Amino acid sequence: MNNDLLDILRGADTPTVCNAIEVVQGKRGFSQFTRGTMISTAPGEPAVVGYAVTAKIAAAQPPNEPTAIIRDRRMAYYRAMHDAPKPSVAVIEDIDFPASIGAYWGEINTTVHKAFGMAGALTNGVVRDLNDLPTGFPVIAGSIGPSHGFVHVVSIREPVTIFGLEIRQGDLVHADRHGALVVPQDVIAGLRGAIGKIRETERRILDPARADGFDFASFERAWSEFEKSRT
């Protein structure tokens, strides 16, 4: 993925990319997206776009493994995040979900992951320290809470599930305040044109609707043009 396409994807919201994938595929029915309402710590910032670096965490109960194993896995986790090809996104499944209580994402972890050059984080788990998070590293999370609980890393680089969406290591992820999706490899080359087409198509109804004198007859004409051009 070149920098030009990356900028286009960052500048598009996740619903637009979801629609663009269907334009490239030539049909409706794309389903690789999250279900349910998620929280963005930076709804006004560009979308989070990058290749997934996956891990699983838990926090409701203390770990039952030796401390040395937990520590070594934690360092292996940070190494994986640091070394991942960029752009990258930390995609973390909290296995306590939907009863997640431990905020893995707070001021320290967001600052460290941003310093590693990552684009942001996607999790079904908890985020905290909302006033102290760095800019340029949005967290798309499942909930907000005050405690870290007994948070610890359970596994690294395994497939994870975030709000019904399965994500594998290396998948291309697009996420914002609407949720997240996985971009299929076979549509990437066509996304630039598809996003442009969607924006042009939407103007066929939006421009008349925003103009003075818009009435039902104007709507019928505009909607007819809109219907002819959309997927």
What is the pTM (predicted TM-score) of this model?
Answer: 0.95
Contact by Cβ (8 Å): 53, 89: yes
C-alpha neighbours within 13 Å on the C-beta side of residue 86: 11
What Å distances lie between residue 217 and 202, 213, 230, CA to CA? 18, 10, 20
Cβ pair 30, 14 in contact under 8 A:
no
Q: DSSP assignment, residue 46?
A: P
Class of the CATH domain delimited by 33-183:
alpha beta
What is the domain partition of the chain in residue ranges? 1-32+188-231, 33-183
Per-residue pLDDT 10s for the chain (231 aa) are 788 999 999 999 999 999 999 999 999 999 999 999 999 999 999 999 999 999 999 999 999 999 999 999 999 999 999 999 999 999 999 999 999 999 999 999 999 999 999 999 999 999 999 999 999 999 999 999 999 999 999 999 999 999 999 999 999 999 999 999 999 999 999 999 999 999 999 999 999 999 999 999 999 999 999 988 776
Structure confidence at residue 231 (pLDDT): 61
Pinpoint the alpha helices (H) of the chain: 3-10, 14-25, 67-83, 107-115, 191-210, 216-229
